[in-house]
Structure 1
Amino acid sequence: MQTAKLYETHLKTNHLEKAIEFYKSLGFTLAYVIEERRVAFFYLGDVSQKENMLGIWETEGDVPKRHIAFTITTDELKSSIQWLSERGIAAEEDFGLPPIEPIVHSWMPAASVYFRDPDGNSLEYIALLDGPPHPELGVIYLSKWESLNK
């Protein structure tokens, strides 16, 4: 099944309405809420394609923390730290690098910005980069990657 793609994933929350507002602030389209089950579904990307969905389920007690990465363009990624900040969402340090710009996982290669939802789930904006991987570089800032790959 080499053509398989991830269609949907699900996260848990302790407060559904707060989670709905957070994911709407990211620009996701609220598709459907099943109040009696305390679940909300969001479409990501082009809603007419209905290719990607996120489900948010309200639960009681400790909510296990998960990680989800959302693909965006490199140009969007370059402005994502400021864009998140304008919505009251802080980008996070990861791999020992402060969130002053996107970081590059040079083994892929892909650039990322990390942040959290109100329940502490780890979220990531990721953009695949052109060119061959360079795992020997480790994790570096996007500006350094671009200067090395001119």
Structure 2
Amino acid sequence: MITSLYETHIQAANLERSIAFYQKLGLELAHVIEHRRRAFFYIGKGRQMLGVQEVEENQEIQLRHYAFEVALEKIGKGIEWLRQSGIQPTPAFGREPVEPLVHTWMPAASIYFDDPDGNSLELIALLNDKPDASSHEVIYFSEWISKMHSSAGKENLN
């Protein structure tokens, strides 16, 4: 029945600041409802949507986490791309953002960063390898590649 996530919403302290941030990420501003202090962005070709709602000055923001899917061939340049956009990648799972991280149980390569309000964001690319369902390990992408090459070599020996 469900085939994708069409729309999700987050809260922001300053709508204009958030609009500028998400445009730096390449999201297309679709619509602003000024009197409701909301902005909507199109994401990707499937036209998923991100809604940003400014909260009142004394209201606490409910922080969220969400991931933007990127092409596998582009994830390796994600850290550099974020930095060139003035966005600093953040450490995750005890690892510094020197290269994408791999969640071995999925498997997927990820890069983490925050929006101006502290929402946790992620660039994610699904890998074409078999998941390691028994593992909850998070390793660097280069470690995953080495692991896949060594296991492929073992399979070829049997």
- Asked if Structure 1 and Structure 2 have the same fold, meaning a TM-score greater than 0.5 normalized by the shorter chain, the answer is yes
Note if 1:139 corresponds to 2:138. yes
What is aligned with 2:98? 100
Q: Deviation per CA, 1:12-59, whole angstroms, max 9, x where unpaired?
A: 00100000000000000000001111100000112xx42x10000001
TM value normalised by structure 2: 0.88
Gaps of 5+ in 1: none
Q: Deviation per CA, 1:53-83, whole angstroms, max 9, x where unpaired?
A: 0000001221111001010012221101111
Which is higher, the Rg of structure 1 or of structure 2?
Answer: 2
Deviating above 6 A after TM superposition, structure 1's stretches of 4 or more consecutive aligned residues are none
TM value normalised by structure 1: 0.93
CA distance in 1, matches of 2:62, 2:70: 26
Note if 1:20 corresponds to 2:19. yes
Aligned residues: 146
Deviation at 1:136, TM superposition (A): 3.0
CA distance in 2, matches of 1:114, 1:54: 18
Q: Between the two proteins, what is the percent identity of the paired residues? A: 50
Secondary structure of residue in 2 paired with 1:24: helix
Gaps of 5+ in 2: 150-158
CA distance in 2, matches of 1:90, 1:33: 27
- Over aligned residues, Cα RMSD in angstroms? 1.2
